[in-house]
């Protein structure tokens, strides 16, 4: 295996030319050229992430009443903000401090590390005996997830075809919808008492003989998912783009050659190799300094940070707090959980729409679509009145479709804005840092929901995306462009 030190005997211009040609060969491959099993291997991290996010959505009312003195289903919203905020602070810590190691030591190896951290955090959650330990466990889990999100999206953007980065980010994101569905339906089954439909699930098991155990089982399942993901991720190849930045041309060439052979066997002859794009050579990994000292990347980062700050305010208020919001608005907790459980099918629908049509339109134009759908879904819930489950479920589905249409496309967009030498760091800075918006928004909505009412609550959540949509119009166009063309 060629190391960076071994390759340093070449003049930098020769290194740049050799690396540029390897990347040009990869860029001509028009379709996904790894085994499709790798999509599932990468996606299991997303499955765990959204299992974890939606786990707390449904199970927290039971958790709160079990470990927080004085907590009731009605006031659980006031206790949700702190664990969600610190979980998202963990996201920021993990994204900012762990993700840059993927720029230095490689994508694949750090992806294994991040899933180990998330699994340990989930196991700690399952064993937590009081509110303080529960919050600490949520923070640790967040550290692993924040880093994992940044590196997974970096990896996908670097190995997907030029015309399919948004498409394959969305395909991976379908796994997140599966994770959300499992979490919500399993949580509803394990953490709510049985009740005739539509006031709950007849087969739910929480009750006198199962009181308090359901939420612990949920987090234990999350830990098991992480173990499976860790074992599978060892099968992933390293990103050829990262290998080129390290001067490991033999390794990069071997992987790209396999990609070419796979693509040829599936679709026939490959297109001609495009023009080599210049690859800057740097003696060391520069990480955040590359972003902060470069006016181009600094401007992009400021814009993307505020977009993500606003997007996560909507995303996490809905993903982590929808059940307690509905409970605070007058729905019985089992009914509120059932509305969310039905609504989460919108996550899968949105991810599929992004997969099927995401490449038809420039990335930034999908955010206004998401904002409109989110507002429409909220208005449907409000206009349907309280305790109108079919109408509320329809509104929830539309809200989650709106969320999931934009998020995977925005993941691709964010990674495309940065060069390979600092891509994981750049994504971590904007998307990871933006999670603070989610934590603050959950605390805000929990404290003012009783005063602004249903209409004000859903207008507030949709309004974040409206502002983000306006900011997005100033962003860079990246669709169907080579990564090194967008971010030299």
Percent residues over pLDDT 90 in the chain: 34
| pLDDT (average), residues 358-380 | 93
Specify the CATH superfamily of domain 19-268+286-486. Answer: MFS general substrate transporter like domains (1.20.1250.20)
pLDDT for the residue 12: 45
Torsion of CA 313, 318, 319, 323, to 10 degrees: 140
Task: Please give the residue that has the higher pLDDT: either 210 or 25.
Answer: 25
Task: Please give the residue that has the higher pLDDT: either 58 or 110.
Answer: 110
What is the three-state SS of 453-483?
Answer: HHHHHHHHHHHHHHHHHHHHCCCCCCCCCCH
Model confidence at 217: pLDDT above 60: yes
| pLDDT (average), residues 60-71 | 84
Whether 403 and 315 have beta carbons less than 8 Å apart is answered as: yes
| pLDDT (average), residues 445-460 | 76
pLDDT digits (tens, 9 = 90+) for 154-186: 999 999 999 899 999 888 888 888 888 888 888
Is 193 strand, coil or helix? strand
When the pLDDT of each residue in the chain is averaged and rounded to a whole number, the result is 84
pLDDT for the residue 5: 34
Q: Name the token pair of 191.
A: 């953490």
Q: Name the token pair of 174.
A: 């379908």
Model confidence at 209: pLDDT above 70: no
The alpha helices in 268-365, defined as continuous H runs, are 287-293, 295-328, 333-343, 345-357
Residue 424 CB contacts under 8 Å (≥ 6 apart), including other chains: 99, 100, 102, 103, 107, 150, 151, 154
Q: Distance between alpha carbon 462 and the CA centroid of its chain, in Å?
A: 19
Q: Using DSSP, how many helices (H) and how many strands (E) does the chain show? A: 20, 0
Question: pLDDT band at residue 48, thresholds of 50, 70 and 90?
Answer: confident
Q: Name the token pair of 85.
A: 């905020």
Query: Whose CA is closest to 396, among 180, 73, 231, 235?
Result: 180
Q: Name the token pair of 345.
A: 């099918």
Return the residue matching tokens 């060439």. Answer: 253
pLDDT for the residue 8: 35
pLDDT digits (tens, 9 = 90+) for 235-284: 899 999 999 988 899 999 999 999 999 989 887 888 998 888 877 655 45
* Rounded-to-integer distance, Cα 463 and Cα 438, Å: 14
pLDDT digits (tens, 9 = 90+) for 142-157: 999 889 988 998 999 9
DSSP-assigned letters across all residues of 43-59 = HHHHHHHHHHHHHHHHH
pLDDT for the residue 1: 36
Residue 257 CB contacts under 8 Å (≥ 6 apart), including other chains: none
pLDDT for the residue 207: 62
pLDDT for the residue 10: 37
Q: Is the dihedral of CA 449, 454, 460, 465 positive or negative?
A: positive
Q: What share of the chain is helix, strand, coil (3-state, %, to 5)?
A: 75, 0, 25
pLDDT for the residue 434: 86
Residue 136, Cβ density class (10 Å: 0-12 exposed, 13-18 middle, ≥19 buried):
middle
Whether 252 and 22 have beta carbons less than 8 Å apart is answered as: yes
pLDDT for the residue 13: 45
Bridge partners, residue 68, by sequence = none
Percent residues over pLDDT 70 in the chain: 92
CB atoms within 10 A of CB 286: 19
The b-or-e profile of 190-225 (16+ CB within 10 A means b, else e) is: bbbbeeeeeebbeebebeeeeeeebbbbbbebbbeb
151-160, 203-212, 314-323: least confident range: 203-212
Model confidence at 200: pLDDT above 80: no
Q: Name the token pair of 463.
A: 């309004």
Model confidence at 295: pLDDT above 80: yes
Question: pLDDT band at residue 374, thresholds of 50, 70 and 90?
Answer: very high
CA 173 to each of CA 47, 112, 131, 177, 355: distance values in angstroms, whole numbers, following the listed order: 8, 19, 31, 7, 9
Question: pLDDT band at residue 4, thresholds of 50, 70 and 90?
Answer: very low
Query: Whose CA is closest to 29, among 267, 317, 211, 235?
Result: 267
Domain boundaries, the chain: 19-268+286-486
* Rounded-to-integer distance, Cα 484 and Cα 90, Å: 31
| pLDDT (average), residues 213-242 | 88
Whether 379 and 323 have beta carbons less than 8 Å apart is answered as: no
Q: Name the token pair of 380.
A: 């449907």
For residue 243, give the H/E element and its range. helix 240-245
| pLDDT (average), residues 311-336 | 77
CB atoms within 10 A of CB 372: 16
pLDDT digits (tens, 9 = 90+) for 101-132: 998 889 999 999 999 999 999 999 999 989 99
pLDDT digits (tens, 9 = 90+) for 393-432: 999 999 989 978 988 999 999 999 999 888 988 998 998 8
């Amino acid at each position: 295996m060629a190391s960076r030190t071994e390759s340093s005997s070449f003049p930098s211009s020769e290194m740049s030319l050799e690396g540029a040609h390897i990347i040009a060969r990869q860029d001509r491959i028009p379709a996904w050229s790894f085994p499709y099993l790798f999509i599932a291997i990468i996606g299991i991290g997303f499955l765990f992430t959204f299992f974890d996010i939606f786990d707390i959505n449904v199970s927290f009312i039971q958790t709160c009443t079990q470990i927080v003195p004085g907590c009731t289903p009605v006031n659980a919203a006031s206790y949700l903000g702190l664990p969600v905020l610190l979980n998202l602070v963990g996201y920021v810590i993990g994204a900012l401090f762990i993700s840059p190691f993927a720029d230095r030591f490689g994508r694949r190896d750090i992806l294994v590390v991040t899933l180990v951290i998330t699994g340990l955090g989930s196991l700690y959650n399952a064993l937590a005996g009081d509110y303080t330990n529960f919050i600490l466990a949520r923070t640790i889990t967040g550290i692993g997830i924040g880093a994992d999100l940044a590196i997974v999206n970096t990896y996908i953007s670097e190995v997907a075809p030029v015309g399919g980065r948004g498409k394959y980010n969305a395909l991976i994101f379908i796994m997140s919808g599966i994770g959300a569905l499992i979490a919500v339906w399993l949580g509803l089954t394990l953490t709510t008492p049985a009740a005739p439909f539509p006031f709950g699930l007849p087969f739910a098991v929480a009750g006198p003989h199962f009181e308090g155990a359901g939420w612990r089982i949920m987090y234990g399942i999350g830990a098991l998912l992480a173990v499976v993901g860790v074992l599978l991720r060892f099968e992933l190849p390293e990103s050829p783009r990262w290998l080129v930045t390290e001067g490991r041309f033999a390794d990069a060439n071997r992987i790209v050659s396999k990609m070419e052979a796979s693509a040829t066997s599936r679709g026939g002859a490959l297109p001609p190799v495009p023009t080599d794009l210049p690859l800057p050579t740097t003696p060391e990994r520069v990480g955040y300094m590359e972003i902060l000292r470069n006016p181009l990347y600094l401007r992009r980062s400021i814009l993307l940070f505020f977009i993500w700050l606003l997007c996560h305010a909507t995303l996490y208020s809905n993903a982590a707090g929808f059940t307690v919001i509905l409970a605070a608005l007058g729905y019985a907790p089992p009914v509120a959980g059932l509305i969310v459980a039905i609504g989460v099918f919108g996550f899968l629908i949105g991810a599929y729409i992004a997969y099927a049509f995401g490449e038809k339109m420039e990335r930034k134009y999908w955010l206004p679509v998401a904002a409109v759908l989110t507002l429409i879904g909220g208005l449907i819930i409000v206009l349907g009145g309280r305790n109108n489950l079919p109408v509320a479920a329809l509104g929830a589905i539309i809200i989650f479709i709106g969320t999931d249409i934009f998020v995977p496309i925005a993941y691709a967009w964010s990674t495309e804005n940065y060069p390979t030498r600092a891509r994981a760091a750049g994504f971590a800075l904007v998307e990871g840092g933006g999670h603070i918006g989610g934590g603050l928004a959950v605390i805000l909505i929990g404290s003012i929901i009783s005063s602004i009412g249903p209409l004000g609550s859903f207008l507030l959540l949709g309004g974040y995306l409206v502002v983000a949509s306006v900011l997005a119009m100033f962003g860079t166009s990246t669709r169907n462009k080579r990564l090194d063309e967008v971010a030299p």
